[in-house]
Each structure stands twice: as C-alpha cells, then as structure tokens.
Amino acid sequence: MKKCKSCLLPETYETIEFNKNGCNICEGASFKNKSIDWEKRKKELDKLIDKYRGKYSYDCIVPFSGGKDSTFTLYYLIKNYGIKPLVVRFNHGFMRKIVRENNENTFKKLGVDVIDFTPNWNVVKLLMKESFDRKTDFCWHCHTGIFSYPIRTALIHKVPLILWGETQSEITAYYQYEDEEIEFEDEKKFNMMRTLGITADDMYEMIKNKDKIDKRDLIPYTFPNVQELKGINYHSAALGNYIPWDYKKNTQLIVKELGWKVGETEGVPKDINIYGEKTECFMQGTRDYIKYLKRGYGRTAQINAFSLRKGEKSFDKSNEENNIYDGKKPHSLELFLEYMGMSEDEFNKTVLGMVIPPNDPSFNKNEFSKKLNDFEEWYREDNRKK
C-alpha cells in the first residue's frame, strides 16, 4: 500500500489525499501550527463565554467522554474562566475502572454537577450488531449518543452553550482549521461525522423486527429538533478551535493538577501510548483490530503518525513499531463475540466483505496482543467465564 512519506498513514485512511510533501492531514496539522492567529481565536472564546455567562442555570454544557481531552477541557474552562458547567457523561457501556476512578476524582476536585446517562444494554447490543453487520463499525450507539445526548440535555435544561474539546480536524480532513465556520455540530455535520449515514430513524426501521424494541429506545441517539435548538439560542463550539491543542501538554497538565492516571490501550505498548490515547473504552482493541483488517493500519500507526508530525520519533522506528504491534488479535474480541452471539468465522466473513482495497488482510495470523491487567473485570454475559 502507498503510505504518506511523512506520517506513514496509508492510502486506505479515511479522507487522506497525498501531495508532494506528505498528505492533507499532515498539511492540516502544520497549517494549525503556523497560520492560525491563536490570540485572536482566544479573544473570540472570551467573547463567547461572556455572552452566555450567568444567564442560564449553567454557563455551558461540557460533554464528557472520560478521556484525556474532555478532562482537559473541563479543567481548562474552570481554571481559566471560573465557569459553571453542567457535565454530561454518556456511558457507552465499556468504561474501564481507571476511567471511572479518574472521572470521579476529576469531578470532585473541580466541583461540578454531573449527569451520567447509561442507555439500555439490550438496545445497545442490537445497535452494535446492526451497525457491525452493515458497516463493520459497532460503535454507532456511542458515536451518536455521545453527541446527541448532551445536545438533548441542553434542550431539557435550557443551557444553550455546549463546549466540546478537541476538534475533528486533528484526525480527519472533513474539517479544516482554516474554515471560517467554527460551529462544531449541526445536523448535517452530525450525520456526516457521527452516524455512518444511519440516522436514529433509519436504525429503528432496521432493528424494529429483530427484537422487542420501542421507538422511544432510540431517543437518546436522535439529533434534536433544529427549531427547538434555535429557540434556546443553541451554540456549539470546540475548545480546540480557540486554543492550540497539544494533547501531550494537556495530558501532562491533568496528570499534575488532577492526579489523572494514564491507562493502557489494548494492542499498543505503554511506552508508545505514553499519553493515554483511547484508554476509556475496553472495546477499543477490537475496534482497532477491525480497522487493521479493513484498512491495514492500527492504533500504533495512528499514535505514531502524531509523533512523526511533531518530529518526536524517527520514520524508521515508527515503521518498525507499526509492523510489530498493529494487527494482533485483541482479547476484547472474545467479549465482543459473546455480546453479539457471533462466531469468529462470522465476524471475519463480515469484515472481509468490507475490506478497503488495496489492503489484503490475513485472517489466520492468530497472534494475540497483550492481555490488559483489568481484562478480568470487563463485563461478561456469561458469568462463568469470569
């Protein structure tokens, strides 16, 4: 496969386009470093926060996934603006112990009100199965819920300002830093970025005959009515559009100031993932494994792409690590198959049907990645397997 000569991401990476210096994602990162007037952007943030401060039951909503980026966002807004936020955490069902502990610690230390929402697990499993079968992406429930639920909460509590953390332009070319439009989520972008083109209404039609399901079960995943949002003066923005986003510095700061503990991600050695990328979900290893089978790169390559762009790691070292660690079978796959009531052959068959050429995966390697030390704590459908 053809790969970017500066970050090593392959031609199968979503939205990638190669150019003479590397790729469009590398270009976006260097544009951000050089061309953005961050002082001006910061003043825009000051204005935005002033506009909403003190007028509603909360100054803003901070959607909270539990990872380093949302933790940093909350910390930054409270320390720098003394803001009174309502924190909304959508529980995707796979929160690891270290994340729950980090979150409790953060909420207590910062002193914030928190709404924690956990959707019906039986519905979640149906949604995972349907989106896996159709798109090999079982995270539909999380990627839609984590966005639509906080926006729904904004409506319920009449808190118009939502402040997200990192922008998407860090990782894809759907968004560009030079875009004048810095509003983060509207329905169109929501559908493009989050739902795999499957709206909650579509999803209901797909699963309604498969199990006992009520149309209301899909409400947490539904983008709210745009007129109602306009009615409360809804405004959604990402902190990463106003301040330079240095995920390493951000992580170091929350480690120091909040005692945030850096966890491990399945399939990536700790000395590569030193800043705790994607540690919040114990299904991450399976998600990354599917990506490897489909597109030929895994989490190690994604983390190393960041390090390469920042000049923190050599090309050869990254290449070597990507080849060694990516593509190993994760132990979380066993749980995924258990939840889905699926055999590994069925799993492989579905993934094979959606491989992105020219990637040509081998399904018979049977080399496992390291079992993480909290594996035994992960939820099992069959208690005897604990």
- The three-point CA angle 209-211-213 to 5° equals 85
- Only one of the segments 2-10, 136-144, 171-179, 258-266 lies at the binding site for Zn ion (rule: CB under 5 A); that segment is 2-10
Provide the Cα torsion 250, 251, 257, 260; round to 10°: 150
Enter the tokens of residue 244: 């330079």
> Which lies closer to Zn ion via its Cβ, residue 28 or residue 285?
28
**Cβ-based neighbours of 363, under 8 Å, separated by 6 or more:** 293, 348, 351, 352
> Which lies closer to Zn ion via its Cβ, residue 22 or residue 63?
22
Q: What is the Cα–Cα distance from 340 to 322, expressed in whole angstroms? A: 29
- Only one of the segments 1-9, 105-113, 202-210, 246-254 lies at the binding site for Zn ion (rule: CB under 5 A); that segment is 1-9
Enter the tokens of residue 352: 């094979």
Q: Of all helices (H) and strands (E), which one includes residue 318?
A: helix 315-325
Q: How many residues does the chain have?
A: 386
Q: What is the Cα–Cα distance from 179 to 159, expressed in whole angstroms? A: 26
Q: What is the Cα–Cα distance from 382 to 379, expressed in whole angstroms? A: 9
Amino acid in position 106: T
Assess contact for 266 and 81: CB atoms under 8 A.
no
Compose the 6-45 pattern: x for residues touching Zn ion by CB under 5 A, - for all others: xx--------------xx--x-------------------
> Which lies closer to Zn ion via its Cβ, residue 26 or residue 139?
26
Q: 86 φ, ψ to 5°?
A: -105, 120
4 belongs to the binding site for Zn ion (CB under 5 A):
yes
Q: How far is the CB of 318 from Zn ion (least distance, A)?
A: 12
Q: How far is the CB of 25 from Zn ion (least distance, A)?
A: 5
Q: How far is the CB of 380 from Zn ion (least distance, A)?
A: 40
Compose the 45-84 pattern: x for residues touching Zn ion by CB under 5 A, - for all others: ----------------------------------------
CA distances from 224 to 144, 190, 386 (A): 12, 11, 40
SS3 at position 107: helix
Enter the tokens of residue 186: 């509207």
Is 219 buried (19+), middle (13-18) or exposed (0-12) by CB count in 10 A? middle
Q: How far is the CB of 23 from Zn ion (least distance, A)?
A: 3
Query: Site size for Zn ion, by CB under 5 A?
Result: 6
258 belongs to the binding site for Zn ion (CB under 5 A):
no
Q: How far is the CB of 7 from Zn ion (least distance, A)?
A: 3
**Cβ-based neighbours of 115, under 8 Å, separated by 6 or more:** 86, 87, 88, 89, 153
Q: How far is the CB of 114 from Zn ion (least distance, A)?
A: 38
Q: How far is the CB of 69 from Zn ion (least distance, A)?
A: 21
Q: How far is the CB of 276 from Zn ion (least distance, A)?
A: 23
Enter the tokens of residue 238: 């990402």
Q: How far is the CB of 316 from Zn ion (least distance, A)?
A: 16
> Which lies closer to Zn ion via its Cβ, residue 8 or residue 196?
8
> Which lies closer to Zn ion via its Cβ, residue 175 or residue 184?
175
301 belongs to the binding site for Zn ion (CB under 5 A):
no
Provide the Cα torsion 15, 27, 64, 90; round to 10°: 0
> Which lies closer to Zn ion via its Cβ, residue 23 or residue 49?
23
> Which lies closer to Zn ion via its Cβ, residue 26 or residue 254?
26
Q: 289 φ, ψ to 5°?
A: -65, -40
> Which lies closer to Zn ion via its Cβ, residue 22 or residue 67?
22
- Only one of the segments 4-12, 243-251, 273-281, 347-355 lies at the binding site for Zn ion (rule: CB under 5 A); that segment is 4-12
Q: How far is the CB of 300 from Zn ion (least distance, A)?
A: 16
> Which lies closer to Zn ion via its Cβ, residue 23 or residue 45?
23
> Which lies closer to Zn ion via its Cβ, residue 2 or residue 385?
2
Q: What is the Cα–Cα distance from 361 to 29, expressed in whole angstroms? A: 30
**Footprint of Zn ion on this chain (CB under 5 A)?**
4, 6-7, 22-23, 26
